[in-house]
Amino acid sequence: MIEMYRSKNCGELRISDVEQEVVLSGWVQSNRDFGGMTFIDLRDRYGITQVVFNSDDNEKLSEGARKLGREFVIKISGTVRERSNKNPNRPTGEVEIEVKEMEILNASKVPPFTIENETDGGEDLRMKYRYLDIRRNPLKEKLMFRSKLAIETRKYLDNQGFIEIETPVLIKSTPEGARDFVVPSRMNPGQFYALPQSPQTFKQILMVAGMDKYFQIVKCFRDEDLRADRQPEFTQIDCEMAFVTQEDILNTFEDLTKELFKGLKGIDLPDFPRITYDEAMKKYGSDKPDLRFGMEFIELNEDMQGNGFGVFDNAEFVVGIIAEGIAGSYSNKQMKELTEWVQRPQIGSKGLVYVKYNEDGSIKSTIGKFYSDNDLNTLKEKIGAQNGDVLFILCGETEKTRKQLNELRLEMARRMGLMTKGDFKPLWVVDFPLLEWDEESNRFHAMHHPFTSPKKQDQEKMMKGEHETMKGLKADAYDLVINGSEIGGGSIRIHDRELQSKNFDLLGFSKEEAEEQFGFLLGAFEYGAPPHGGIAFGFDRLCAVMNGESSIRDFIAFPKNNQGRDMMIDCPATISEEQQNELSLKSTFVGSNE
Ligand code: ASP
């Protein structure tokens, strides 16, 4: 047989190739035996081509073909023929190969799940046999999309004069708010490296070093509880620029995002709206609102309090949303189920009040005792509700109630089918608070990270200790949000040593602690740090959101499961005693417990 594995791939032959002699290699997708004729669908990365064995021409060859199992690797040579029974769903569907020779390159066990677009394999099984899963189109296409997205990102940033610089993976802890993964150092017993939660401090130091436009498509590591859109190791498009204002950064990365959508999806995104953090919380109860639908919050204290309804009268905050056009389709039973939904501990609301403005003008509500139809019709006018709409109301402590209503808003959008796939609504959320209160540790934390610059007007107050509240301090920090997902976040940084020290001070670091953890950065700031700022995009998440998917897992070739395990290589795993000894782990931990 010809000394070559393939002259063509399994996705490229067309009707114009008829009569050509070709060699193809690939995997057996399916094997259909019709007595004298055996049809094999041969698959590779590029597609599927039908190949035919005719026992009239060569019985021995046909007999071999009949024995081919799924996922056998074969090489065939033969002639391209026009198919009598064409398959319009496949680019190669007009032709088939009449096989002259076949060689089995490798046998295969029967795969544990079907290698089809829709598979019967559960997630852990698919992860264990990831190499089989990646043979399926959906996974293969996602990885190809990812590759293209990375290449287009590099092209754009290169065109803008950015330089890709690698930063180390074995570092000292970076304070991005999550736990670190640590690596014991053999040569320094009892000491550990941390894996970077991001290259934050290095990219800032690169600005001091004069590399005024840095980027890196980089792995970051955070030891957090996992969800569908989180992985312990994930990838960022990480960037930093010197001599820029917030405006410069937003414009550069809005442009990058537009280019990526245009290049990969053929979509022209309009300019991104910008809203402040405070406005986002007020209108949507979330700093990452999904703008594919409205349902903005309506504050109702003024309208609803003072009618003798104790639940509202005693609440700090009364707020509602209008779900349009659902009055007719929501039965009492469904309303009850929805009430139970908001009362689940994950949402935590005490109850749900609704006012149903029926199509025929009648009103049904849970608060009829306290509000006459007249009252509720006045309210309807004021808030712009229509017949057929339902007004949902929650009340309680302001911040909590906003969060609960955000959940209900999203749930209603899900139920009403308003999260349209293929519709993209990006926005910038700006002016984040500098600090946030952390209930668990009972102190303030940096909302973004401790290198984030307070807004100009707050800097002076902060230095003099004259700021009214810690909560009121605002930062030059911003997030890019698309369809309710945080795609990117960044900030203008502090480049002044004094201000940085003050910030550490507010965050409860003693001088010694700050020096010990960040002395290298504070030191660098004494050698002419330029004004600078940056941003990082969650690359896996961007892939998922651009494809209308909520899970990032399938955009990662070898992801971890919910327990943080790699099911394929079966890790984390124990290490030998010898290794532990070498790393001084035995003596540090096990020994000290004895
Ligand atoms: N290091 C930040 C993060 O990972 C991004 C930035 O501020 O540039 O969220």
Q: What's the gap in Å between 80 CA and the centre of ligand 1?
A: 54
- In the chain, the amino acid numbered 508 is G
Q: Which residues have any ligand 1 atom within 6 Å of their CB? A: 176, 198, 200, 489-491, 534-536
Express as a percent the part of the chain with pLDDT over 90.
86
- Give the mutation target among 176, 250, 256, 492 for probing the ligand 1 site: most ligand atoms within 8 A of CB: 176
Largest distance between two CA atoms of the chain:
95
Pocket residue to mutate for ligand 1, from 236, 252, 430, most atoms within 8 A of Cβ: 236
Instruction: Tell which atom from ligand 1 comes closest to the C-alpha of 535.
Output: 8
Report CA(196)–ligand 1 centroid distance (Å).
11
592 pLDDT band (50/70/90 cuts)? very low
Atom of ligand 1 nearest to the CA of 238: 8
What distance in angstroms lies between residue 501's CA and the mean position of ligand 1's atoms?
A: 20
CA of 453 to the centre of ligand 1 (A): 13
Q: Which two tokens stand for residue 243?
A: 């001599």
- Between CA 232 and CA 538 the distance in angstroms is 13
CA dihedral 163, 168, 172, 177 (to 10 degrees): 60
Mean pLDDT in residue range 190-208: 96
Banded model confidence at residue 399, pLDDT cuts 50, 70, 90:
very high
Q: What's the rounded mean pLDDT across residues 338-345?
A: 97
- pLDDT of 472 reads 87
- The pLDDT tens digits for 495-538 are 998 999 889 988 888 999 888 888 999 999 999 999 999 999 99
Residue 249 scores a pLDDT above 80:
yes
End-to-end CA distance of the chain: 68
Taking the CA of residue 477 as reference, the ligand 1 atom at the shortest distance is 7
Give the nearest ligand 1 atom to 236 CA.
4
CATH code for residues 15-106: 2.40.50.140
β-pairing, 426-430 vs 274-276, is parallel
Mean of per-residue pLDDT scores for the chain: 94
CA-nearest residue for atom 8, ligand 1, is: 535
Q: How far is CA 234 from CA 115, 127, 458, in A?
A: 27, 17, 34
Residue 182 phi, psi (nearest 5): -120, 155
pLDDT at 588 over 60: no
Please list, in sequence order, all residues whose beta carbon lies within 8 angstroms of the beta carbon of residue 267, skipping any fewer than 6 positions away: 261, 424
Tell me: pLDDT of 591 over 50. no
**What residue type is 248 in one-letter code?**
D
- 3-state DSSP assignment of residue 424: coil
- Checking if the pLDDT of 385 tops 90, the result is yes
Q: Above 50 in pLDDT, residue 593?
A: no
Q: From the CA of 490, how far away is ligand 1's center (Å)? A: 5
Torsion of CA 565, 570, 573, 576, to 10 degrees: -170
CA 180 to CA 171: how far, in whole Å?
Answer: 11
Q: Both tokens of residue 295?
A: 């349902």
Ligand 1 centroid–CA 243 distance in Å is: 18
Ligand 1 centroid to residue 225 C-alpha, Å: 19
- Ligand 1 centroid to residue 489 C-alpha, Å: 6
Q: How confident is the model at residue 587 (pLDDT cuts 50, 70, 90)?
A: low
Long-range own/partner contacts, residues 170-174 (CB < 8 A, 24 or more apart): 170/195, 171/195, 171/196, 171/202, 172/517, 173/197, 173/517, 174/198, 174/199, 174/200, 174/201
460 Cα: distance to centroid of ligand 1 (angstroms): 25
Residue 578 reports pLDDT greater than 70: yes
> Average pLDDT of 300-322?
97
- pLDDT of residue 26 exceeding 70, the answer is yes
For tokens 């349902």, what's the residue? 295
Return the ligand 1 atom nearest residue 239 CA: 8
Kindly indicate the confidence band of residue 461, based on its pLDDT and cuts at 50, 70 and 90.
confident
CA distances from 45 to 48, 96, 138, 322 (A): 9, 18, 12, 48
Ligand 1 centre from 437 Cα, in Å?
20
Q: Judge contact between 173 and 154, C-beta under 8 A.
A: no
Q: Residue-wise over 370-408: b if at least 16 C-beta within 10 A, else e?
A: ebeeebbeebbeebebeebbbbbbbbbebeebbbbbbbb
Nearest ligand 1 atom to the CA of 533 is 8
Tell me which residue of 40, 13, 35, 34 sits closest to 104, measured CA to CA.
Answer: 40
Q: How far apart are CA 84 and CA 86, in angstroms?
A: 6
Residue of the CA atom closest to atom 1 of ligand 1: 200
* CATH 3.40.50.1820 is right for the domain spanning 293-415: no
Higher pLDDT, 436 or 147: 147
Question: Going by CA atoms, what residue is nearest to atom 3 of ligand 1?
Answer: 536
Would you state the pLDDT for residue 230? 85
> What are the pLDDT digits (tens) for 276-293?
999 999 999 999 999 999
The helix or strand, by DSSP H or E, that contains position 215, with its residue range, turns out to be: strand 213-221
User: Taking residues 46-64, what's their average pLDDT?
Assistant: 93
Strand, helix or coil for residue 32:
strand
Write down the H helix ranges in 365-496: 373-383, 398-415, 456-464
d(CA 81, CA 95): 6
* Cα of 167 from ligand 1 centre, angstroms: 14
Q: Mind listing the pLDDT tens digit for each residue in 479-500? A: 999 999 999 999 999 999 899 9
Would you say 267 and 592 are in contact if contact means Cβ atoms under 8 Å apart?
no
Give me the amino acid identity at 124: D
As a whole number, mean pLDDT of residues 297-321 equals 97
Q: Among the atoms of ligand 1, which is closest to the Cα of residue 200?
A: 1
Percent of the chain at pLDDT exceeding 70: 98
Please tell me which of 55-64, 207-216, 328-337, 463-472 the model is most confident about, judged by mean pLDDT: 207-216
What are the distances in angstroms from CA 302 to CA 54, 385, 422? Answer: 83, 17, 39
pLDDT, one tens digit per residue, over 163-179 is 999 999 999 976 667 89
pLDDT for residue 455: 95
Q: What is the pLDDT of residues 66-99, one digit of tens each?
A: 999 999 999 999 999 999 999 999 999 999 999 9
Is the pLDDT assigned to residue 590 strictly greater than 90? no
261 Cα to the center of ligand 1, angstroms: 22
The minimum-distance atom of ligand 1 relative to the CA of 240 is 8
Between the CA of 432 and the centroid of ligand 1 the distance, in Å, is: 14
Beta strands per DSSP E along 140-199 = 163-164, 182-184, 192-194
Beta partners for residue 489, in sequence order: 479, 536
Residue 275 bridge partners (DSSP) = 429
Test site for ligand 1: of 238, 249, 252, 541, most ligand atoms within 8 A of the Cβ: 238
Beta pairing class for 163-164 and 213-221: parallel
CB 543 within 8 A of CB 127: no
Atom 4, ligand 1: residue with shortest CA distance: 198
**What residue segments make up the domains of the chain, in order of their start?**
15-106, 140-275+426-569, 293-415
Q: Which atom in ligand 1 lies closest to the alpha carbon of residue 174?
A: 1
Specify the pLDDT at position 1. Answer: 67
Lowest mean per-residue pLDDT among 352-356, 360-364, 463-467: 463-467
Q: At what angle do helices 497-506 and 511-524 cross, to 10 degrees?
A: 150
Instruction: Give the model's confidence band at 557: pLDDT under 50 very low, under 70 low, under 90 confident, else very high.
Output: very high
Mean pLDDT across 321-326: 97
CB 537 within 8 A of CB 237: yes
Q: Whose CA is nearest to atom 7 of ligand 1?
A: 490
Q: What's the fold here for domain 140-275+426-569?
A: BirA Bifunctional Protein; domain 2 (3.30.930)
Model pTM greater than 0.85? yes
